[in-house]
Amino acid sequence: MLLALVCAGALLRLVQTRDSLWVDELHTAWTALGSLGDVLPRAAIGNQSPLFFWGQWLLVRLFGPSELTLRLTSVVAGSLLPLALCLLALRHTGARPVALAVAGLAAFDPLLLFFASEARPYAALQLLAVAHVGLLLETWRQPTRARRLGLVGGAALLFHWHYTAALLLLAEAAGYGLVCWRRRGALAYRPAQAGLDGLAAAALCLPAAPLLLAIFDRRHNWAEFIPQRPWWQMLDPLPWSGGAAVLVLGWLASALWRGRQAEPTPGAGDQAQAGDFAVLVLSWLLVPLAAAWLLTRLDIARLFFPRYLAASAPAALLAAALCTELLPARWAKGLAAGLLVLAGVVTSGIPQQLAIDGRALADRAEDWRGAVAWLNTQLEPDDAVLVASGLIEANALVVSQDPLLAEYCLAPVMSLYRLKIERARLEPLPYSNLGELPPAARDLARQHARTWLVVRGRREAASRVERAAIDALALPATGERPRQWRVSQRASFGRVQVIALSRTE
């Protein structure tokens, strides 16, 4: 059963590798296709740590640039995640229904499927998180020198893989404190050892401080897509209905309380270890959610977003699977696990998509590959192209002359998918107020008889942009006579629109 679940999950992830890269993945492609010295500044301008991108750079040199190469790390990590969660649950609960339920949920969860088929660091972050939590539990049992070194090195690896892993490390620290309280301090991994290891891990994370400060200075950009939410929406990112969330959290809280009240008895080690596991799952799930919500609510750093809580998603699946232990009979636990997995499959959208077009999951919404390929067949020697990539960092183009920023905003059409046009006839547009056209974009368009707009967004949004651009271009420059512009061609590639504006004499 486990083998079937792992294979099904791997197949669903592999199917999606044929799709076009979307705009965030094209940042990865742009970073990996540059020189080794380009990796750090290109990763940093996209608010990312360079560690994952150095690996992508190496993969591209080994296997060549392609969608599969760029997504390979995520596909492998995402395919192994159901197995890792199953082994973690089996090791610390001894319950096969729980282990198989969490493997099934991980194999078919839509968000995990998406992370595991995109060229970004989140799927590997989730696998590393599961491995680190497992190592932490083993260290609690027997804190050998090798395990403690692995714990410190693993914490630094998680942090440098993606900086939001700091939320997971905070959760582990909170979980350790709860277990110490639950065990009345009778834990092999002493607080002094934990404190020393924490300081060592913090020292290994310090080299990232300059880059983190630069990212923090740009934090206002995140308000464009991460709204502030009231406290009662704190559980919204969880893959459950409200009733299921209350049930799961209630069970975990009762496990914590029962463990605190019960006196230690001979032969109760396995039960105590299972309780420690439940406590850690509770902390792993709730502490990042609460911290991200609070940072967002106070407008310190808007992190309350599924992508930035990716390291906690495995905990949500584990907590749901642990609910099967609420049932007394063994056959009932097995039945509940099967029903839980079935519910996960039905709500994933996979059966509906198979009925529509025979695909496991729908194509990604942004077909940059198709848009660039089609535009290459339409370009003429005197055409210009304005690119609205939809990257929030593009707003800085209005006040910044940084050439690296401009290249970043042109990455969707100048990396894996490349327009056959000179750089002098390309100009990026800002994220907001696209139709106003910055002076450089307006001047470039006026120098050519036809200008193409490549806009990331739906047709309705692109229509507003084209109308505003026509109005902006119709205003004559100093010493010029007015000219009229019209839409001469239009094509749609999912959420990528290509529009030709032609000048009429």
At 242 the pLDDT is 42
pLDDT band at 27; cut points 50, 70, 90: very high
- Name the least confident of 62-71, 350-359, 362-371: 350-359
Helix (H, G, I), strand (E, B) or coil at 127: helix
Report the distance separating Cα 180 and Cα 318, nearest Å: 22
Average pLDDT of the residues in 348-366: 59
Residue 221 near residue 393 (C-beta atoms within 8 A): yes
CA geometry: angle 366, 370, 376, nearest 5 deg? 130
Report the distance separating Cα 289 and Cα 231, nearest Å: 11
CA geometry: angle 137, 123, 313, nearest 5 deg? 60
Tell me the per-residue pLDDT of 142-175, one tens digit each, with 9 for 90 and over: 999 999 999 999 999 999 999 999 999 999 999 9
Compare 449 and 419 and report the one with higher pLDDT: 419
Q: Where in the chain is the domain with CATH 3.40.50?
A: 368-504
Tell me the per-residue pLDDT of 3-22, one tens digit each, with 9 for 90 and over: 999 999 999 899 888 889 99
Residue found under tokens 């290994």 = 204
For the segment(s) 368-504, the CATH number from 1.10.530, 3.40.50, 3.40.1710, 3.90.1280 is 3.40.50
List the one residue out of 391, 503, 494 whose CA is nearest residue 47. 391
How much of the chain exceeds pLDDT 70, in percent? 86
Q: Inform me whether the pLDDT recorded for 398 exceeds 80.
A: no
Q: Inform me whether the pLDDT recorded for 51 exceeds 80.
A: yes
Q: Inform me whether the pLDDT recorded for 203 exceeds 90.
A: yes
- Name the least confident of 203-207, 211-215, 235-239, 466-470: 235-239
At 263 the pLDDT is 39
At 463 the pLDDT is 85
Q: Inform me whether the pLDDT recorded for 445 exceeds 90.
A: no
DSSP assigned state of 418: B
Helix axes 67-93, 51-63, angle to 10 degrees: 120
At 260 the pLDDT is 47
Is 249 exposed, middle or buried, given 0-12, 13-18 or 19+ CB atoms closer than 10 A?
middle
Tell me the per-residue pLDDT of 299-344, one tens digit each, with 9 for 90 and over: 999 999 989 999 999 998 898 888 887 777 888 888 888 888 887 7
Q: Inform me whether the pLDDT recorded for 240 exceeds 70.
A: no
Q: Inform me whether the pLDDT recorded for 89 exceeds 70.
A: yes
pLDDT band at 476; cut points 50, 70, 90: low
**Which residues have CB under 8 Å from 114's CB, separation 6+?**
none
At 254 the pLDDT is 58
Q: Which structure tokens are listed for 49?
A: 């740590």
How much of the chain exceeds pLDDT 90, in percent? 53
Is 366 exposed, middle or buried, given 0-12, 13-18 or 19+ CB atoms closer than 10 A?
buried
Q: Inform me whether the pLDDT recorded for 207 exceeds 50.
A: yes
Report the distance separating Cα 153 and Cα 481, nearest Å: 67
Q: How far is CA 274 from the centre of its chain?
A: 30
